[in-house]
């Protein structure tokens, strides 16, 4: 037991906080590390993994909000994993075990939601979802969280309101990243369009929600779907002056040559709205005469 306590004192600060390494000399760090390695050899991998997991395990087991997922950050341990095969094996095993625990906890939370709505049919759940989406005022974050709970319970994840908006569309436009992430996991159609033919990605681009844009693209969202007026997500980003959004879209092969129904291109829209930094960025992509259409003014 004394050895175990000593192991906590020497090893865990190195793994979880890095404070010892930040404060000590190189020689002292080396001595601490060698001593830690000698202690490691006295314990089984299973015991060490259990010790390392404890701080993270408590966070996961106390996770009761499906919209605030606990993060597993083994960054300090990852650095040590490069020093020896033993540490690498511990890192891989710990990471895998914690991910399994997190998945199991998520499933438990989903089961609790399904139990709460077990007496409702799919049609009844969709009716409840419809009431949330059909409000005349702005839909709140809490309303959208309730919508997600209904979807987990069995409502249609791609259910649309009278204007063709899904829960994903609303969440993407308002910037609720956690809700978007859950909806993607639940199978939401990332390329679905509303009656104006705008996608969730279009709304995220228009409102400058970079992280949501990245989530949608990773999930397979098409960056070049135009709306009913021929505006692409890139054009909307140019109109709003969102350079960081423009850079992401260009990196993901957004076309700069698309012409909307007003005869405008992304560059001409950026010019019209005084976004000279975006104009220069897009003009730098013009590589040959075939690309000159994008310079329309």
For residue 287, the model assigns a pLDDT of: 58
Mean pLDDT for the chain overall: 83
Is the pTM value of this prediction over 0.85?
no
For residue 295, pLDDT over 70 is answered with: no
Residues 96 and 241 in one domain: no
Number of domains in the chain: 2
For residue 6, pLDDT over 60 is answered with: no
Residues 97 and 164 in one domain: no
Tell me: the pLDDT tens digits for 187-242?
Answer: 999 999 999 999 999 999 999 999 999 999 999 999 999 999 999 999 999 999 99
Domain boundary among 119, 148, 172: 119
Residues 173 and 84 in one domain: no
Helices marked H in the chain: 2-12, 19-23, 26-40, 45-61, 75-81, 85-116, 122-133, 141-153, 167-174, 177-185, 200-206, 210-218, 233-240, 243-251, 266-272, 276-283
Quick count: other Cβ atoms within 10 Å of Cβ 111? 11
Q: How confident is the model at residue 286 (pLDDT cuts 50, 70, 90)?
A: confident
Residues 83 and 139 in one domain: no
Q: How confident is the model at residue 20 (pLDDT cuts 50, 70, 90)?
A: very low
Residues 141 and 261 in one domain: yes
Residues 225 and 180 in one domain: yes
Domain boundary among 64, 87, 119: 119
Residues 273 and 236 in one domain: yes
Residues 137 and 284 in one domain: yes
Please indicate, yes or no, if residue 225 is contained in any of the structural domains.
yes
Tell me: the pLDDT tens digits for 95-148?
Answer: 888 889 889 999 999 999 999 999 999 999 999 999 999 887 789 999 999 999
For residue 134, the model assigns a pLDDT of: 86
Residues 102 and 134 in one domain: no
Q: Which domain holds residue 111?
A: 77-119
Residues 109 and 156 in one domain: no
Domain boundary among 66, 85, 119: 119
Residues 109 and 160 in one domain: no
Residues 255 and 141 in one domain: yes
CA–CA separation, 143 vs 120, rounded Å?
A: 19
Three-state secondary-structure class, residue 199 = strand
Query: Of 211, 160, 149, 161, nearest to 186 (Cα)?
Result: 149
- Say which CATH number the domain at 158 has: 1.25.40.20
């Amino acid at each position: 037991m004394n050895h175990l306590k000593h192991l906590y004192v020497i090893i865990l600060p190195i793994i979880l906080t890095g404070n010892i390494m930040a404060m000590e000399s190189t020689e002292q760090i080396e001595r601490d590390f060698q001593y830690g390695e000698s202690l490691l050899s006295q314990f089984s991998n299973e015991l060490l993994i259990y010790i390392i997991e404890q701080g993270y395990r408590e966070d996961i087991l106390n996770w009761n909000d499906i919209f605030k997922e606990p993060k597993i950050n083994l960054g300090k341990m990852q650095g040590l994993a490069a020093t020896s095969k033993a540490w690498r094996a511990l890192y891989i095993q710990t990471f895998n075990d914690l991910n399994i625990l997190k998945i199991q906890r998520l499933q438990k939370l989903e089961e609790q939601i399904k139990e709460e709505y077990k007496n409702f049919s799919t049609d009844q759940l969709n009716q409840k979802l419809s009431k949330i989406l059909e409000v005349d005022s702005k839909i709140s974050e809490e309303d959208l969280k309730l919508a997600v709970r209904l979807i987990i319970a069995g409502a249609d994840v791609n259910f649309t309101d009278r204007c063709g908006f899904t829960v994903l569309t609303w969440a993407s436009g308002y910037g609720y990243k956690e809700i978007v992430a859950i909806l993607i996991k639940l199978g939401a159609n990332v390329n679905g369009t509303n009656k104006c033919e705008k996608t969730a990605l279009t709304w995220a681009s228009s409102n400058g929600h970079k992280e949501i844009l990245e989530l949608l693209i990773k999930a397979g969202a098409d960056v070049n779907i135009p709306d009913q007026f021929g505006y692409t997500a890139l054009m909307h980003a140019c109109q709003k002056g969102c350079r960081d959004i423009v850079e992401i879209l260009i990196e993901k092969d957004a076309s700069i040559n698309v012409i909307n129904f007003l005869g405008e291109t992304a560059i001409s829209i950026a010019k019209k709205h005084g976004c000279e930094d975006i104009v220069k960025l897009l003009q730098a992509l013009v590589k040959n005469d075939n690309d000159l259409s994008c310079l329309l003014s």
